[in-house]
Structure 1
Amino acid sequence: MLTCTPRSSMAPWRRALPVIGLVAVALLSACGSSSKKPQPAELPAVAALMGTQLVWSAQVGEGHASLAPLVAGGRVFVAGGAGNVAALDAATGKDVWRLNLGTPIAAGVGADGQTAAVVTRNNQLVAIADGAERWRVRLPARSFTAPLVAGERVFVLTADRVVTAFDGKTGARLWSQSRPAEPLVLSQTGALLAVGDTLVVGLAGRLTGLNPDNGSVRWEAPVATSRGTNEVERLVDIVGPVSRIRNSVCARAYSAAVGCVDASRGTVVWTRAAQGTTGVHGDDRLVFGSESDGRFQAWQRATGEPAWSIDRLKYRGLTAPLALGRVVAVADSRGLVHLISREDGSEMTRLTTDGSPILAPPVLAGDALVVQTRNGGVFAWRPQ
């Protein structure tokens, strides 16, 4: 029985929503089996084929999956669910600035190095500059995706599949683009990124290219087509993060498919059925991601053909991965970070945190691998 809630350079690593018409938008936060969940197998001793050093750690407050660290301008931007937002020096982990907004945070952080933006649980978009609140505006719907700050604008994707642009200095609304809504949407991070002069956003099972100046649609590329006999089976939202290498953008449609799109032309390069529910990452040769049971998979970026897969991390609650030169980093619900070989998935080493689940994907800050745990710990390692 299903239970659902309604509606760069990486060389060092080589070694409550509105009613739309008569249909209410619902939030799907999780679907799971009522039977006992399978347990992960015991892990063997750490292989330790790669040296790493914990170089700094920090604390930002309890987090969740929609609060992934973000790196921009030599800083690591982090947020805690209770309202803390901080910019940390990427080299030392020391505070550049820290601000408590006084209200819980639902999604963030987006930043361009100077301006940061988050979305609060009461649907307010808040912009921060140099550690001080610059402006805040109320959104018409909830958001689970970090805002994108680029070109002195702040772009927001709300759960009703509306994309809105705001002036980064004043908060004035510049334009809004809405697409056909489905009865269910995911309370999970979506796709929102800039590719050249195009704003690329995940809408339902499509990657869509928008003109960032006025929101007009330039192209739409389907990664998955909605099918099934009920609303849950037809749910194929694009989930973040995505993997971008130049004009190649590869993404996952929730529990349906993985595919790559040429964002310069808006054409689908390939799609392949896949059952995962978290985003993907990759390099110029491979795309990496995990299936819903934790089987970790690599696909050829050019063709979508499977390259390899491993089963030893099954049922560990994996995050989306991060490709780092010759290794791939993926974290789990036990607070471990697994560094595996990009060539065959063999273990290179394993990193420990504070033991609480890591829900958001790892990020790269210069030559440091950074993760944030549910208990609010932020940890950074460098290769030795």
Structure 2
Amino acid sequence: GALCLTVLGGLTAAQLTGDDTQPARRTTAAQSTPAGFGAWETAPVRRGGMPQCSYRQERLLCALRGRVVALDPADGRTLWRHDLPRTPRSEPPAVAGGLVHPSLDRIGDLEALDPATGRRAWHRDAPAYEGVRAAGDMLLLTRADGTVTGVDGATGRTAWSRRVPGQAVPYFSSFAGEADEPSAYATSPSADGRGTRITAVDPATGDVRWDAELAGSLTPVGAADGSVYLLVGGAVDGDATGVVRYTPGSADKNSRRVTLTVPVGQAEAGVHGDTVYLMGGGGSLVAVDMAAGKELWRLETGVSRGSRPVADGRHVYVTAPDGRLLGVDARTGKLLGQTRPRLGDDSDRVPAALPEPVLAGGHVYAGAPDGTVFGVPGSDPAAW
């Protein structure tokens, strides 16, 4: 499909390389922006659902149908593209060991790309595995028998392989931006469903850093400053009834637990500082201050569902199914602004997962159902 680029911030028109490239089209800037950045949108593919993006190595890395592309975050130029033999799962490309891992769902092989050029750095066949997660500089592969194998993201070599005590078949959660020593978290419910065992594993060695039994059915949603944040009552498929902050080594196994005034169905959650933001299937966006131990605010956004909320301290950002990006005041819960809808030919289909917004350098990036990726300044959502 043709690649088209619209620059909304008055930048010099970028001439993209490749047979399927069209010249950039310039329009008037909606507001002043930092030097080197203008609001932009680009369509790496005409069809293919909502792009899933992440920001690593000064690149905006986006997974689309059958390919991964690297975009310049300043103006949306395509820096490189890498075709995949099969359609990737609805997750953004991961980075481990300084390399891009474009599609960790493809059972049977692994590959890593140079983030500067998109060229393959290594490739290896892997034994059948049930799940894979990037954590720190490692890829963690879980097999059906519960064995976890740590693969060095930089080289593709196996660093370790072992079972995780107390976890039958561990599926890991990991969180970007964690402290110098990131952990991978595996959880499993107790036999009676009244508790959850959570195990923090060092991804570099497979060693258990700590292990705890906590009350309730819990799902990890974030980690910061030595604490782990979990939803009570399940996430995505169930109703979240509360939020737990657990700090390893604390005397109280439930360091801080806040019950929601109204449960949040099919909750997606993100953490910024000591605040947890929940987005529900019915459009409810809720902020919970774990330091104060209370619910801060609740906003009914009116969207049928939303992405995982992403916050920067001033604003909370959420992607809607029609491609809108919503900006909300993180202190008051007031809706400040939203971008226009970007519906595509497949807009009648509900995507399996909505791409969460990406924050980098004071800017916000998002994908839409028409296959576009766009970037806007994060400082003033009202001007979108």
Structures share fold, TM-score greater than 0.5 = yes
User: What does residue 359 of structure 1 align with?
Assistant: 354
After TM superposition, give the deviation of residue 76 of structure 1 in Å: 1.1
User: What does residue 311 of structure 1 align with?
Assistant: 300
Partner letter of residue 308 of structure 2?
A
User: What does residue 341 of structure 1 align with?
Assistant: 329
After TM superposition, give the deviation of residue 147 of structure 1 in Å: 2.6
Which of the pair has more CA radius of gyration? 2
Question: d(CA) in 1 for partners of 2:254 and 2:269?
Answer: 17
2:150 paired with 1:165 = yes
Question: d(CA) in 2 for partners of 1:78 and 1:157?
Answer: 25
Tell me if structure 2 keeps the 8 A contact 1:147–1:156. Answer: no
After TM superposition, give the deviation of residue 326 of structure 1 in Å: 1.8
Match for residue 226 of structure 2 among 230, 247, 258: 247
Question: d(CA) in 1 for partners of 2:173 and 2:285?
Answer: 21
User: What does residue 279 of structure 2 align with?
Assistant: 290
2:260 paired with 1:271 = no
Question: d(CA) in 1 for partners of 2:287 and 2:187?
Answer: 25
1:1-384 correspondence to structure 2 within 5 Å: 55-61=39-45, 68-82=52-66, 84-106=67-89, 107-111=91-95, 114-117=98-101, 118-129=103-114, 130-133=117-120, 134-138=122-126, 140-143=128-131, 147-148=134-135, 150-151=136-137, 153-156=138-141, 163-176=148-161, 177-178=163-164, 180-181=167-168, 190-193=173-176, 194-204=178-188, 205=196, 207-221=198-212, 225-226=216-217, 237-238=219-220, 242-252=221-231, 253-254=234-235, 255=238, 256=240, 257-262=242-247, 268-273=254-259, 274-313=263-302, 316-355=304-343, 356=347, 359-382=354-377, 383=379
> How big is each residue's C-alpha offset from its partner over 1:26-82, in whole Å with a ceiling of 9 and x where there is no partner?
xxxxxxxxxxxxxxxxxxxxxxxx9687612233446678x7411122111111132
> How big is each residue's C-alpha offset from its partner over 1:124-167, in whole Å with a ceiling of 9 and x where there is no partner?
33222231222133353344x7633x34x334567987653212
Q: How does the TM-score come out when normalised to structure 2? A: 0.69
After TM superposition, give the deviation of residue 101 of structure 1 in Å: 2.0
Question: d(CA) in 1 for partners of 2:71 and 2:97?
Answer: 11
State the aligned residue count: 313
Deviates more, 1:277-286 or 1:361-370: 277-286
Q: Percent identity?
A: 23
Partner letter of residue 256 of structure 2?
W
Question: d(CA) in 2 for partners of 1:223 and 1:370?
Answer: 36
Structure-2 change in CA distance of 1:275 and 1:347 (3 Å): closer
Question: d(CA) in 1 for partners of 2:31 and 2:144?
Answer: 42
Tell me if structure 2 keeps the 8 A contact 1:247–1:264. Answer: no
> How big is each residue's C-alpha offset from its partner over 1:78-107, in whole Å with a ceiling of 9 and x where there is no partner?
11132x112222222222221102222124
More relative contact order, 1 or 2 (CA 8 Å, 6+ apart): 1
Unaligned runs of 5+ in 1: 1-49, 227-235
Structure-2 change in CA distance of 1:156 and 1:81 (3 Å): farther
Unaligned runs of 5+ in 2: 1-29, 189-195
Question: d(CA) in 1 for partners of 2:272 and 2:128?
Answer: 37
Q: CA RMSD in A?
A: 3.5
Tell me if structure 2 keeps the 8 A contact 1:298–1:309. Answer: yes
Partner letter of residue 246 of structure 1?
D
Deviates more, 1:337-346 or 1:167-176: 167-176
Q: How does the TM-score come out when normalised to structure 1? A: 0.69
After TM superposition, give the deviation of residue 369 of structure 1 in Å: 0.3
